[in-house]
Amino acid sequence: MTVAVEELKGLKSDLVVDARATSCPGPILAAKKAIGQIPVGGVMEVLASDTGTLKDLPAWCKKMGHDYLGSVDDAGYLQLFLKKMK
Amino acid sequence: MTETQLVEAVTDNTEVKTRKTIIVFSGDFDKVMAAFIIANGAAAMDDEVTMFFTFWGLNALRRPEKVTTSGKSPLQKAFSMMMPRGPERLRLSQMNFAGAGPKLMQRMMRQEKVMPLDDLIASAREQGVKMIACAMSMDIMGLKPEELIDGLEYAGVASYLGDADEANVNLFI
């Protein structure tokens, strides 16, 4: 389930995880570490500079059973959103 | 996973964890990097991961400092003296340039914000990646447990094969 960019921008994240200082596999390691901190149904925002994350985070979400919502890239880095489903 | 375990897991509605096994035979810096990136990624995706280090791959697990050991034959002594101690000293499989290659590669990795190899090893350990050092090749090459980092299991091919039986991906690097 991906969400329109405008909707993503208005989304309130329960947690922002900054993985901009790391490249593959850093962003998914960061996501894995942080996901426990939010409740089921919560939204997590991952900041990344490695463009591979655009493919990797959705793959991680699919494997882990979370909903990948989409990404925004107009801040000069990537903001990727996901919803914790379990 | 046996059929019964699978059925139990499904009826329990618990997670069926998949396993990946990686044989690290090479002691080349770039190949060991690849192995640990895959291992870390798999662990982050909730897979169980077993890494089996054998022959040159064992050098990636060596402590960087010199460790005094006893009971080595002259040949074993020579071998362990000539082989690289730890991730910082491994050579590149291509463009090694007498040791300049790995330094350049590490600088480029820093620029691209890739985790250094020792951090990847630490992260793998933190995530519960099972690391097995092949006891047989340690004997051949004269490596003693005290020369290797902590948190390893020492075992043989049957331990690796036992885990490989439950795995859906197996890599030989």
Q: For chain B, give the DSSP string.
A: --HHHHHHHHHHT-----EEEEEE----HHHHHHHHHHHHHHHHTT-EEEEEE-GGGGGGGB-SS-----S--HHHHHHHHHS--SGGGPPPSS--GGGHHHHHHHHHHHHTTPPPHHHHHHHHHHTT-EEEEEHHHHHHHT--GGGB-SS-EEE-HHHHHHHHHTEEEEEE-
Query: What pLDDT was estimated at residue B41?
Result: 96
Cβ atoms of A15 and A84 closer than 8 Å: no
Which amino acid, B113?
Answer: K
Domain A5-83: which CATH number of 3.30.110.40, 3.30.200.20, 3.40.50.720, 3.40.190.10: 3.30.110.40
Residue by residue, pLDDT tens for chain B (173 residues) are 566 666 655 555 456 789 999 999 999 999 999 999 999 999 999 999 999 999 999 999 999 999 998 889 999 999 888 999 999 999 999 999 998 999 999 999 999 999 999 999 999 999 999 999 999 999 998 899 999 999 999 999 999 999 999 999 999 99
Query: What pLDDT was estimated at residue B1?
Result: 57
Which amino acid, B56?
Answer: W
DSSP state of A14: S
Q: What is the number of CB-based contacts under 8 A between chain A and chain B? A: 41
CA distances from B154 to B27, B58, B75, B127, B171 (A): 18, 11, 22, 19, 20
Q: Where are the domains of chain B?
A: 17-172
Does A22 sit within 8 Å of B113, measured CB to CB?
yes
Does A60 sit within 8 Å of B45, measured CB to CB?
yes
Per-position b or e across B128-157, b if 16+ CB within 10 A of its CB: ebbbbbbbebbeebbbbeebbbeebeebee
Q: Please list the active-site residues of A.
A: 24
Does A24 sit within 8 Å of B46, measured CB to CB?
no
The total of other beta-carbon atoms located within 10 Å of residue B54's CB is 23
Q: List CB contacts of B13: < 8 A, sequence separation 6 or more.
A: none
Query: What pLDDT was estimated at residue B93?
Result: 94
pLDDT tens digits for range A51-60: 899 999 999 9
- State the Cα–Cα distance between residues B65 and A67, nearest whole angstrom: 46
Cβ atoms of B60 and B27 closer than 8 Å: yes
Which of A23, A28, A49 is closest, CB to CB, to B44? A28
Tell me the CB-side half-sphere exposure of residue B113, using CA atoms within 13 A. 13
| pLDDT, mean of residues A71-83 | 93
pLDDT tens digits for range A1-39: 677 888 888 888 999 999 999 999 999 999 999 999 999
Query: What are the tokens at B46?
Result: 């909730």
Query: What pLDDT was estimated at residue B21?
Result: 98
Domain B17-172 class in CATH: alpha beta
Q: List CB contacts of B111: < 8 A, sequence separation 6 or more.
A: none
> Whole-model pTM?
0.86
* pLDDT above 90 (res A77): yes
Query: What pLDDT was estimated at residue B83?
Result: 94
Which of A23, A49, A63 is closest, CB to CB, to B45? A63
Q: Where are the domains of chain A?
A: 5-83
Query: What pLDDT was estimated at residue B8?
Result: 59
- State the Cα–Cα distance between residues B79 and B84, nearest whole angstrom: 10
